Structure 1
Amino acid sequence: MAEAMLVDHDQYSCSICLELLRDPVTIPCGHSYCMSCINECWNTNDQKGIYRCPQCRQAFNSKPPLNRSTVLAEIMEKLRSTESAQSLAGPGEIACDFCAGEMIKAVKSCLECRASYCETHVQPHYNVPALKKHKLVKAAVIPVCPKHDKLLEVYCRTDQKCVCMHCLLDDHKGHDTVPSTTERNEKQDSAKKAVENSKKVFSELVKLIEKKSNEVIEEIKAQEKADLDHGTKLQKKLEGEITELKKREGVLDDLLQTEDNIQFLQNYETVSSSSGSDELPSFSFQPYCSFEDVRKLICDLTGRLETTCSQEISKTINKVSDLSTKRPPFDFVVGDRVRVKPSVVTPIHKWGSVTLLSVGVVKKIQGEWLTVDFPEQRNWTGVVSEMEHVTGAGSGPSSLDSNIKIGDKVRVKPSVVTPTHKWGAVIHKSIGVVQKIQGDSLTVDFPEQKNWTGIVSEMETVASAGSGSSSLDSVIKIGDQVRVKPSVVTPTHKWGAVTHKSIGVVQKIQDESLIVDFPEHKKWTGLVSEMELVTSADLVDIKVGDRVRVKSSIITPKHNWGGHVTHKSVGVVRDIKSEDVIVDFPKHRSWKGILSEMELVN
């Protein structure tokens, strides 16, 4: 039994102190804690009158009674008795300060006594009333102030470092300081708040798009009604004209049938003048709005929104990734060699004469700000989170980019959204030859644009690549069967008669362009980067009644997933219209997709 408990040690540990439960109590939500740990957690709670479970975050309006769990306490005693065979402290482990002779491994450290204890010597801290008030933590080196030799228990937000109480009257007088527990709780909650805020922002964005979508739909319906009303009025007017013409036709027939010449001549002028000599009015129906134009506008808007959202969300993700690797501010000291991180597009205090390749020396650090002397600019001010250490690097190009030389074949890195000096006629797939390198700038001759200026850190070398298609697209050759990628909303050279479902044969490849013969459109022009190879597996004919699912290579279907469809969902094809397919999934009827995104399921 005890051996089994040891295997699942974490099950019997307090999630606050991370040690075996001591005086265990179970709160109403079912989670268990040390009595002292949960009491201290709730006593330091900022939201007065609300008590939350540290694990599941369930809230209680009044403080639940904390009664000792007898059964759980007995299990803890048996578990501790099993672990009573104490082990020696190994390298990097804390030894008990009270064990004589052998260095027994400590299990707890007391912040008040500033000493560490093994399982035996820590017992007085659980039994002696005066020692029960001491703060016990997992065995560790007690953090003390090097200047005052006092416990570090306060966090200075101004200088972003831990300090002792004496420091508050000395170097950190008047600074923004809080208890270390408060700062820790805030930092632990910051990620949760960021997630909640992100959900709220994206939810509001979806609501905004839905609102605007409804406005467009209402406007289309209003225009449709206006066209119908206009057509109805025109129809009534034409019917009136027809009735009048029929009356005049009857009068003329009567006049033509009379045999009295005098009567004919006397009435002819009257009938003739009443009919008028002008041509009959011409009526034509012209709708106020071309709904085909609306469809094209919405398609264009969709493409722009997808591009903008992808770029902006990628920037946000990169920013979050950068935060995860951010060094603590106090990792920098005066005299360190630093440079701006490659992930920083524009520093908060601007570039000045500094570039991504500039290497300088830290002159001064104040809170989150630091002053750096660069060769190009003295007393440059930056933010700690935007900087990184440089080891063994000169003031020239960084080791990351030092392999780019004059004559090398290069292209813009895929991670660069927009180059510092703009694209010009160049794209991600363009490959050119370096003509000149000066500082962090370089001049490249591309087939599309000569003397193109870029930044070394934004470029990458292309091994054994010609002026044709890049290595990423070199798999496409003349004679291959290809189609437009599902991710392409509108090809650069437009669709013509081609659709996502169309499969054609490559006739010619020149640089990044290619000519394809489709059954629907001969000599169709496209870009290599917009095309994908079609394998024999892709040529499977999907028919109504087939069982299908979304291909595993599709990240997001063109018409989105819906609420319940996933890569594992299997449905039955109900209808096929051109390149669109309607599928009945178990949890989503009438789901709309693209044939090229689907695969048969045997």
Structure 2
Amino acid sequence: MAESKLRDLDQYSCSICLDLMKNPVTIPCGHSYCMSCISSYWDMDKRNNCPQCRQNFGSRPVLNKNTMLADIMEKLKDTKPQAASLAQPEAEAGDVECDFCTGRKVRAVKSCLECRASYCEIHLQPHYDFPVLMRHKLVNATFMPVCQKHDKLLEVFCQTDQKCICVLCLMDEHKGHDTVSCAKERDEKQVKLEVDKSKFEEKCKEKEKELYTLQKAIESHVQSAHRAVEDTEKAFSESVTFIKKRRSEIIERIRAQEKADLDRLGDLRKQLELEIATLRGQGNVLDKLLQTEDNIHFLQNFENMPNPAGVQDSPSQSLELDASFGNVSKRVSDFKERLEEVSKQEADKILESVSDLLIKSSPDQIKIGDRVRVKSSVKTPRFNWGSHVTHKSVGEVKAVHGETLIVSFPGHENWKGDLSEMELVTGGIKPEASTQKRSIKVGDRVRVKPSVDTPKHKWGRVSHQSVGVVKALDGEAMTVDFTEHPGWKGIVSEMEVVSADDVSGVLTGNNSFHIGDKVRVKSTVVTPKHQWGGVTHKSVGVVTDIKEDTVIVDFPECKGWKGIISEMELLSSKDTEECFRVGDRVRVKASVSTPKNGWGSASHKSVGVVTAVKGKIIAVDFPEHKSWNGIVSEMELVPSADSEYCKFKPGDRVRVKASVRTPKYNWGSVSHESVGTIKALKVVVDFPEQSDWAGNPSEMELCS
């Protein structure tokens, strides 16, 4: 009953304020409102239409009070039910608001496609009460799609232009186009979307299968890695246990041998002590007789005195105590070196095998136009690095021929690479100055970017291959110490940081090697381009000349050895500290003020030949001081350019240069035609005419 009564009262309520009408007025279409409500509505709307039926009146109608409705309102004031003022849910962000609520915004529950308005529960009531409104189509509250040009509801779909239009658009710019109702077009497109959805579901199932397979592969890979770790730990633990066991056996054997030797030496010592006591006793008897003054007593006892010739000597036994176990120590030291060498080589092979466990990509994953770079696990690409290409370089794929890619890198067009060595680069690269400024700091190793043709402050003695250390940063300006150019000025945006992984790639430029540097062949090089000669991976030599990509090195095993810069590596002082070999030419480092064992007759200018190396101790024959003893860390190798001695070695056949009129130490029996053999590096030469001839190295020449 309450609801029926409320509905009866609603027909006298203003549909704008939802309260009983005050000063009711009736507009030309027949609808009635509060005079103030309809006036305010028209002030805001500016179109002078009816809020309910939307009839437009052109000019604003004159409002006159409806006296009959006013009387009815007065009678109904006391019967207004409280239900009409029940709280309505307030509209939140994203909700459709009721078009008729003033003040507080209330959430709409339905939208009318005929009225093109949205209503809350109370304002929607007339659509249930009035027959003319009951025929309107109500839908769940939604934002009404209205034509921006004609202010009409979008009800038609233009298939020609593929857009929603209103009925007036059919008579305007869409006249003659293929059109259907939006509902019909929706039905057709919904069928297509359902087909597309089923395809997506099929693809999703395929991807789920791939994911399942990948997950299984990952689990297998993880298990394999765990097994490898366990096997590695077990193998190394067993190796350590085995070595410890063998160590104990050797130590026990040494201790046992030491005890046996000491027992034997103890017996020998006791025997010698007894013999000494006997001899001393007999000596005392002789001494006593010698001291007697009685001649008769002396002569009577002379024949009874002990005779030294009658004393039997025990078998002579000797043992070189100072070096009795020296051979064992040497063998242990040799064993340690061989074990370390073999362990390093085998460990490197194991590490390489781990690095080779790359997840293979199918060829169709890298295609023309993709951005790629060389994988960080690749030390040297199959077709080499080329110019300016490094692990950081990002290029665009220009062609794919089977397993071979053609890539355009900055500074190197049409670079050729192997598909398995490349990886896709996703995301953007932002080499802005601000980014570089944040990433470059004092102490970083940097170089000029390959994309920079000419630095702002010019090259100086620097090149793209030069690597220097940042000494100062001042805004965009930076100071870099290059080997070729200390204090070089540059711009942050022109530079890039060189990581530790890139250093090996940078060491292919001539600026990485200098005459006098200590180098060796990289362990990754199986056979050098110009062959080994007498050189091995362990050989350490001194750079004597550099010509483009070729380096000339003096190794102890091979003087004037020719190699390729990319095949060589620099050695630090720590690497070379124990790399001296017998026959090497050496001198005391300039940084050493006084050698630990003193100068003797040697000096910083003295160049000698290594005769022995025992741990940290090195024995050198200097021209000024034979058998000079020094410390390995105080010495340095001497390149041939620094010493005339480096031209010769014992056994070389030499003669006096034709340009020498009189040798420094005179001719003796020698002449310009004499050919002799170097005996020692003073230089001492054995000529047929004269042995042990002394000469000056600068006056001599090799004979073919």
Query: What's the TM-score, normalizing by structure 2?
Result: 0.29
TM-score normalised by the chain length of structure 1:
0.33
Q: Of the two structures, which has the highest relative contact order with CA contacts closer than 8 Å and spacing of 6 or more? A: 1
Larger Rg over CA atoms = 2
